[in-house]
Amino acid sequence: MSADGVSVVTTTWNESKNIERLVAAIRKVLQGYPHEIIVVDDSSDDCTLEAAKRFADVAVSKPREGQSRGLLFGMRLAKYPKIVTIDADLENDPKHIPQLLQQMDKSDVVVASRTKIPRFSEQVASKTLGKLMGVTDSFSNFRAFRRENVPLFVFRAGETFGAEFLIIAKKNGLKISEICYTPPPRRSNPRIGGTLKANLRIFWVLSKSLILYAS
């Protein structure tokens, strides 16, 4: 295991058109800094895994279980002491990775929070769950972690869009902080679904997460 460096983890589902651009952007930002890029493919039915094997350092496939479990699977493969998780849809700009890593000097978990949260359901989550976690964007999966804390993350719920990471961190006394960034326009076909479907799913996940936090 290296004493320095960062493992960047993403999970994919039908992202064959994005993976080369994402990996190239990460490499550019981390040029000269020890790093690896880990892609966990969630059983895509396009050529995502094949593309990931061409461009990433580690590319593996697993049964489709959702983004949270995919990220955790990849985090367990990390060889460097710092881990950054990032979405594969290019809505998280890798240029913010150095700021996340810098913030790790005084935190255990750092969240890259969007300055503008578009969905009403996410705004509600920010004022409830986010307030409990000490962040403004509780469903952002653009985050930095310490590898030494990865064994703490044992999920009890189903998909929580990353909220369970924060809940477990909070319950284990880890220090959570955030950086803020201006997000690019949302893509036309988000993985989570259209506006109505997405808001319903987020409200359901928010309810589960608040119960999980209280239990």
Please report the pLDDT score of residue 1 as a whole number: 41
Q: How many residues does the chain have?
A: 215
Please report the pLDDT score of residue 192 as a whole number: 54
Please report the pLDDT score of residue 196 as a whole number: 82
Q: Residue 119 CA to chain centroid, in angstroms? A: 18
**Separation CA 22–CA 164 (nearest Å):** 25
Q: According to DSSP H, which parts of the chain are helical?
A: 19-29, 48-55, 67-75, 97-103, 120-127, 129-133, 163-171, 195-214
Contact 185, 154 (CB under 8 A): no
Please report the pLDDT score of residue 82 as a whole number: 98
103-131 confidence digits (pLDDT tens)? 999 999 999 999 999 899 999 999 999 99
Q: Dihedral sign, CA of 200, 202, 207, 211?
A: positive
Listed as ranges, residues in the chain with pLDDT below 50 are 1-2, 193
- Strands 82-85 and 143-146, bridge-based pairing: antiparallel
Half-sphere exposure of 28 (CA within 13 A, CB side): 10
Angle at 53 between CA 48 and CA 58, to 5 degrees: 115
Specify the DSSP element, H or E, that contains 178. strand 176-181
Nearest CA among 143, 163, 159 for reference residue 209:
163
171-186 confidence digits (pLDDT tens)? 999 999 999 999 887 6
CATH code that applies to domain 6-214: 3.90.550.10
**Separation CA 180–CA 156 (nearest Å):** 29
Please give the C-alpha separations between residue 180 and each of 10, 92, 113, 163, 177, in angstroms, as whole numbers.
20, 12, 5, 18, 10
Token output for 46: 């396009």
What residue spans define the domains of the chain?
A: 6-214
